[in-house]
């Protein structure tokens, strides 16, 4: 893939710079497919209830990202991922999964905010809010739950439903499912990407794009 080709050169240069920044920051550390409850196939590296932001179908490659919303590297990768989603639109499935790290005071609070927004169909909007404002709340040692609630209000969410979701043990359990799966799959830091269930080791942008291009060209989905 050549994301630097016109007419998107300026955007692609910004994406490449963001990717380098993410690497400099380093990752934050610490058979037919089965069908889900809606009859949709469970994609590799995902659960039946995983958040599929871009769904093409089981015939397409699946990219899964494990993310910690407080992780600076995840924040740096956010515009890169958004650009890649546009580039590969209609060609790959994209799944986002939670992996809040214990060393980040507000990572679970942020994940709860995203999951509560997801229950109202606004997951991507909340993710954008959190990453775009990460410098305002990241690395703090006090709860930023009230700030996240203000983002929910700005997005026009039903705040009663939002508050109920935040307080529900089921919401936290949903996040912990992802985290536990990630640990079993070998995730130790974020962001971590899997293509068709296989962990990708990233040193440069092509370590992400080349495997995707090859999977698309070969029709590989597992």
CATH of the domain at 73: 3.40.30.10
Please report whether residue 222 resides in a domain. no
Q: According to the model, what pLDDT value does residue 39 have?
A: 61
Reported as a single tens digit per residue, the pLDDT across 46-60 is 999 999 999 999 999
Predicted pLDDT at 16: 55
Is 119 within a domain? yes
Neighbouring C-beta atoms of residue 172, cutoff 10 Å: 16
Average pLDDT over residues 108-126: 99
The per-residue pLDDT for 4 is 43
The residue-averaged pLDDT of 149-172 equals 99
Domain that holds residue 69: 9-25+43-216
Residue of 75, 124, 134 whose CA lies nearest to 96: 124
Taking CA atoms, 27 is separated from 43, 68, 106, 178, in Å, by: 25, 10, 17, 18
| Spatial separation of the C-alpha atoms in residues 154 and 148, rounded to whole Å | 10
pTM, to two decimals: 0.85
Higher pLDDT, 222 or 122: 122
Q: What are the C-alpha distances in Å from 92 to residues 32, 79, 86, 129, 148?
A: 18, 18, 10, 25, 31
* Whole-number Å distance between alpha carbons of 12 and 108: 32
Is residue 34 assigned to a domain? no
Helix (H, G, I), strand (E, B) or coil at 67: strand
Per-residue confidence (pLDDT) for residue 38, from 0 to 100: 57
The verdict on residue 221 lying in a domain is no
Say if residues 69 and 128 touch (Cβ distance below 8 Å): no
**Cα–Cα–Cα angle for 162, 164, 165, rounded to 5 degrees:** 65
Let me know if 34 is exposed, middle or buried by CB neighbors in 10 A (0-12, 13-18, 19+). exposed
Overall domain count for the chain: 1
Q: pLDDT higher for 28 or 168?
A: 168
- Note whether residue 89 is domain-resident: yes
Distance in angstroms (rounded) separating the CA atoms of residues 1 and 68? 27
For residue 70, the Cα-to-chain-centroid distance in whole angstroms is 12
Question: Do the domain assignments include residue 71?
Answer: yes
Q: Indicate the pLDDT class of residue 169, thresholds 50, 70 and 90.
A: very high
What is the tens place of the pLDDT at every residue in 182-204? Answer: 999 999 999 999 999 999 999 99
Q: Tens digit of pLDDT for each residue in 129-153?
A: 999 999 999 999 999 999 999 999 9
Looking at residue 221, what is its pLDDT? 82
Q: What is the mean pLDDT of the chain?
A: 89
Residue 161 lies in a domain: yes
Does residue 2 surpass a pLDDT of 70? no
């Amino acid at each position: 893939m050549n994301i630097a080709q016109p007419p998107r050169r300026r955007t692609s240069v910004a994406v490449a710079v963001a990717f380098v920044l993410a690497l400099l920051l380093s990752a934050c550390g610490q058979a037919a497919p089965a069908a889900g409850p809606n009859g949709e196939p469970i994609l590799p590296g995902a659960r039946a209830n995983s958040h599929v932001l871009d769904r093409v179908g089981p015939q397409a490659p699946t990219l899964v990202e494990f993310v910690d919303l407080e992780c600076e590297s995840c924040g740096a990768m956010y515009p890169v991922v958004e650009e890649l989603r546009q580039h590969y639109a209609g060609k790959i499935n994209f799944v986002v999964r939670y992996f809040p790290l214990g060393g980040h005071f507000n990572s679970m609070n942020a994940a709860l905010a995203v999951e509560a927004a997801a229950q109202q169909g606004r997951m991507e909007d909340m993710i954008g809010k959190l990453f775009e404002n990460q410098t305002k709340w990241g690395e703090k040692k006090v709860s930023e739950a009230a700030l996240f609630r203000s983002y929910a209000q700005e997005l026009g969410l039903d705040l009663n439903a939002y508050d109920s979701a935040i307080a529900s043990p089921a919401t936290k359990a949903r996040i912990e499912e992802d985290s536990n799966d990630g640990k079993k799959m070998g995730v130790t830091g974020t962001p971590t990407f899997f293509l068709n269930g296989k962990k990708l080791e990233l040193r440069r942008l092509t370590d992400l794009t080349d495997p995707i291009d090859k999977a698309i060209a070969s029709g590989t989905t597992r």
